[in-house]
Every structure is written in structure tokens, then in C-alpha cells.
Amino acid sequence: MTMNRQAFLDHRFLGCQQEPQDAGIWVFGAPFDGTVTFRPGTRFGPEAMRRESIGLETYSPYQDLDLEEDMKIADLGDLDLPFGNRDGCLDLIGQTVGDIVDRGRRPFMVGGEHLVSLPAVLAVHRAHPDLCLVHFDAHTDLRAEYLGEERSHSSVIRRIWDQLGDGRIWQFGIRSGTREEFSWASGGHTTMERFRADTVSDARKALEGRPVYVTVDLDVLDPSVFAGTGTPEAGGLSFHELLEGLLGLSGLQIVGADVVELAPHYDPSGVSTAVACKVMRELLLLMGRCV
């Protein structure tokens, strides 16, 4: 079989063309949206990002780094999740992240709804008991329970806190939640900056030398720049504000990361998907700078 496979298009995230054994970061998609109460569709996020990422350059003028020239990244594809079975989905995600960590690689997950971060963070936590979380989001995600259910997208950070405890979680850009959630957070359980992400440098100092997981719920961005999400919430960060927040983490030991909550169908212009890809590129490159 000598036919030239070079002539055929690849189907992996931009610049993630390494074979797994050669790569230090393993990207995978977790297309799960099973606990969404309002507008579903984040299950289509990873595939849309893979497809549209070719509109981007591999080079970032913000960081002067290139996904192909300066990094070693593999794309494993999307997990084949047992739809309708929430706990089975979360278990498979947790096992996958556990496997990646066990092999000495760092995971980069693409959601899916935010609940997918729960098993991923917990799997990384098992390998890094002093793990801290940096959380960009429009929503608090701190409900004790939601509609009688403890494991939902509205409770994901609260469930992570159950394991990590006080003083481990930094939240940025938060602008929506119940009075109880804001009140609970301000009781010292998490460090929350409302509306903006201007205090990342404070977090950075506190996180120096500790293993960090970064979770970016893309709806932290203003809906003007990121319309493709289930619950758009006005008054968010501009792309530059989020980028500055992320770059403010430069030099930390990022042991895992994810970007979640792109629901591409709600933005027929494709801009949300393009923005998600660019955030992902910058976050991947940041992991390159941070090791």
C-alpha cells in the first residue's frame, strides 16, 4: 500500500498532530450535555472546534509560540459516551483522565457542559493531592444541589470543593448565581472576583509552586464575542480581558486544563467556535510555557 496519504486532510485539532507516544499533552473531547436544563447542544462543541480550528494560525503573536514548532500535542478524538447515562459518562471521563495522568501526560479536555470538569479534576487531584483550581465562568456553579440533584452543571464547583476544600479555588468573571451562592462563596470557601478578572496576579502569587488545574467555562466571555452557549449572560469579559487573565498565570505548574460550554449551533456565524479555538490555542501554549 504505497498511496500517498499526505494528499488527504487530517482531522485533528489545529497543531495537535503528534502521535500520542511522542506528546506531552493529550487533548480529547467530552461531548456530554446531559444535565442541561435550558438549551442543550454542547455535545457538538469538540467536533465543531476540531473542524473550524483550521481557520486559525498555529502561531500566537501574544506569546510568540507555535503549536507545531514549540509544542508536542496529540489529539485522541472524542470519547464515545453512553448517552442518557450521566454517571457512566462521568466515570469514563474520569478513567480517561486518570489513564493520561498515569502515563505521565497532561490532559486537556474539551467539553461538553461544565459537569465534565468534575471527574477530570478529581482524577488529576488523585495524582496531585495539593491541587488548586482556577475557574473562569459567568456562573458561580456553587449550588448545594439543583432540582434535587447533587451532580449537575450548576453544582460542579461545589462538588469539586467537597474534595479540595477551602482555600483551593479561585473564581473569576462571576456574574450570575443565587444570593445563597454568592453568600456561601464570600464565607471564605472560594476566592471569587465578581464581573472581572483583574486580580489574577493575586492568585498567581498564592499558586506559585502548586499544581494547578485551569477550567474555562467559555461563557465567562461576553455574549457579544461568544454567543454560542446555552445561557448567555451579558456583562462578561472581552477576549482581551480573558487572555490577560490566562497569561497572568504564566509560569505556574498547570497539570490539567479544560475549555467547556461551547454550543456551536446557537451561533450560526461560527464566531463562537473560532473564539473557543483561539482560547484553546492560547491555553495550550500557556501550558507549554508553564512546565
Considering only residues 261-290, where is the footprint of a copy of itself by CB under 8 A?
265-271, 274-275, 278-279
At residue 240's C-alpha, the angle toward residues 237 and 244, to 5°, is 95
Per DSSP, the three-state class of 210 is coil
**Residue 21 engages a copy of itself in binding (rule: CB under 8 A):** yes
**Residue 166 engages a copy of itself in binding (rule: CB under 8 A):** no
Interface with a copy of itself (CB under 8 A), residue total 88
**What are the two backbone dihedrals, phi and then psi, of residue 244, each rounded to the nearest 5 degrees?**
-65, -40
**Residue 258 engages a copy of itself in binding (rule: CB under 8 A):** no
Tell me whether residue 73 is exposed, middle or buried, using C-beta atoms within 10 angstroms of its C-beta: 0 to 12, 13 to 18, 19 or more.
Answer: buried
Q: Give the separation between CA 246 and CA 230, rounded to whole angstroms.
A: 23
Nearer to a copy of itself, 179 or 205 (CB): 179
Q: Tell me the residue type at 98.
A: G
As measured in angstroms, the least distance from the Cβ of 170 to a copy of itself is 18
| Selected binder of a copy of itself within 37, 201, 208, 250 (CB under 8 A) | 37
**Residue 178 engages a copy of itself in binding (rule: CB under 8 A):** yes
Nearer to a copy of itself, 210 or 239 (CB): 239
| Selected binder of a copy of itself within 144, 166, 201, 235 (CB under 8 A) | 235
| Selected binder of a copy of itself within 117, 175, 218, 286 (CB under 8 A) | 175
Nearer to a copy of itself, 24 or 270 (CB): 270
As measured in angstroms, the least distance from the Cβ of 226 to a copy of itself is 8
Residue for grid cell 454517571: 87
| Selected binder of a copy of itself within 23, 27, 36, 220 (CB under 8 A) | 36
**Residue 22 engages a copy of itself in binding (rule: CB under 8 A):** no
Q: Tell me the residue type at 219.
A: D
Nearer to a copy of itself, 92 or 164 (CB): 92
Q: Quick one: cell of 76? A: 485522541
Tell me whether residue 148 is exposed, middle or buried, using C-beta atoms within 10 angstroms of its C-beta: 0 to 12, 13 to 18, 19 or more.
Answer: exposed
| Selected binder of a copy of itself within 33, 137, 141, 217 (CB under 8 A) | 33
Omega within 30 of 0 (cis) for the link into 112: yes
Q: 212-231 mask for a copy of itself (x: CB under 8 A)?
A: ----------xxxx-xx-xx
The answer to whether 26 touches 105, Cβ cutoff 8 Å, is yes
**Residue 106 engages a copy of itself in binding (rule: CB under 8 A):** no
Nearer to a copy of itself, 68 or 163 (CB): 68
Nearer to a copy of itself, 86 or 289 (CB): 86
**Residue 186 engages a copy of itself in binding (rule: CB under 8 A):** no
User: Using CB under 8 A, which residues numbered 51 to 90 contact a copy of itself?
Assistant: 51, 54-57, 59, 61, 64, 66, 69, 76-80, 82-86
| Selected binder of a copy of itself within 129, 148, 187, 209 (CB under 8 A) | 148
Give me the residues paired with residue 136 across strands: 172, 216
Helices (H), 128-270: 156-164, 179-184, 200-207, 239-247
Q: Give the separation between CA 169 and CA 125, rounded to whole angstroms.
A: 13
β-strand 59-60 against 211-217: which pairing, if any?
Answer: unpaired
User: Hey, CA dihedral for 266, 271, 275, 281, is it positive or negative?
Assistant: positive
